[in-house]
Structure 1
Amino acid sequence: QHTNMSIPLRRVVTSHKGGKSAVMIDDKLDLIPGFASSAITLWQNHEYPAELADQDAGIGGISIYTKGSLIRVVDFPPTSYGHNHRTKSLDYGIVIDGEIELVLEDGSKTVIQAGDVVVQQ
């Protein structure tokens, strides 16, 4: 498996089996091809409520779902520039390490540091 993130990532997904919670998936994931930065989709689903028993439901690339959820980890190298864009989804940005400058369409800029969370509507 190919990973090139600054921190190792492991995905653990739980579900219900026989009326009890159980670990359904415990794995490491491949990078998303075609991203300028290193990116891994940890989980995604297309609708709510989600189909919780489908082990392949969370696997995917770069699609955006307006009625589902998506969690992706992106590792921006120093001095890189992210090409973010507007979508019809609710997105969360959680800075794990370092800092990044958030630049919005109106030209405003905000420095986001480790431990900060951005809710993008």
Structure 2
Amino acid sequence: MVRRVVTGEKDGKSVIFSDGPVANTHDYAAVPGFQTTLAWATLQGMAPLPHDGKDPVVGIQSVVPDPHGTRLLVVQFPPDSSLDSADFDPVAAGAEYEAHLPGLAQAFEPDGSGMHRTASVDYDIIVSGELWLELDDGEMRHLKAGDIVIQNGTRHAWRNRSTMPAVMVAVLIGAETQAAR
């Protein structure tokens, strides 16, 4: 589980408002080893400072931010081989994604390919393990811990072709889509 420390101000002095596990963490029963943590969010427009001490991820309507809003998401990807099990139930997995990744789950294509696109600029940092970024033309890019991907609202999928879990931290910044060039 991710530990989150949140600072703010009280009586003109900096203080720690919270220090502990993130309530919006989910371990997926339908996809063993898959875990998501929505660690922080800002709404459309400027984040008001000083922070008021309220947890902005409680009751969040969408993991995908509105234009100029942000989300901080930590994702643990199990090896792709975990989806090859005879016990894997894609319908149950889809229902769990919809319940715990609102807005993002709906961005995934219904064919089960994992391909998706969001109206956001994402700063993706691989913190452990290995992932492969797949683009819509089939190009695959192998990524290791320390690699950074700037995802600019393009159609893509994440693959874990290794035998170990991989963890990625993603900062999503809501954007407005324009007509393709």
TM-score (norm 2): 0.55
**2:21 is the alignment partner of 1:21:** no
**Does structure 2 retain, via aligned residues, the 8 Å contact 1:32–1:62?**
no
**2:134 is the alignment partner of 1:103:** yes
Cα distance in 2 for partners of 1:94, 1:14 equals 23
**2:103 is the alignment partner of 1:86:** no
Q: How does 1:1-121 map to 2 (within 5 A)?
A: 8-30=1-23, 31-32=25-26, 36=31, 37-51=34-48, 52-59=51-58, 60=60, 62-65=62-65, 66-79=67-80, 83-121=114-152
The secondary structure found in structure 2 opposite 1:90 is strand
Higher relative contact order, structure no. (Cα contacts within 8 Å, ≥ 6 residues apart)? 2
Structure 2 residue runs without a partner (length 5+):
84-112, 153-181
Bigger mean CA offset, 104-113 vs 33-42: 33-42
Bigger mean CA offset, 26-35 vs 88-97: 26-35
Structure 1 residue runs without a partner (length 5+):
1-7
**Does structure 2 retain, via aligned residues, the 8 Å contact 1:32–1:41?**
no
How far the C-alpha of 1:33 sits from its partner, in A, is 7.1
Instruction: Check 1:61–1:10 CA distance in 2 against 1; reply closer, same or farther (3 A cut).
Output: farther
Instruction: Check 1:103–1:87 CA distance in 2 against 1; reply closer, same or farther (3 A cut).
Output: same
Bigger mean CA offset, 78-87 vs 11-20: 78-87
Higher helix share: 2
Larger Rg belongs to: 2
Bigger mean CA offset, 60-69 vs 104-113: 60-69
The secondary structure found in structure 2 opposite 1:27 is strand
* Cα RMSD (Å): 2.5
Instruction: Check 1:61–1:25 CA distance in 2 against 1; reply closer, same or farther (3 A cut).
Output: farther
- Residue by residue over 1:71-120, the C-alpha shift from the partner in whole angstroms, topping out at 9 and shown as x without a partner, is 11110011257835211111121111110000011221101100111111
Cα distance in 1 for partners of 2:129, 2:27 equals 24
Identical columns (%): 33
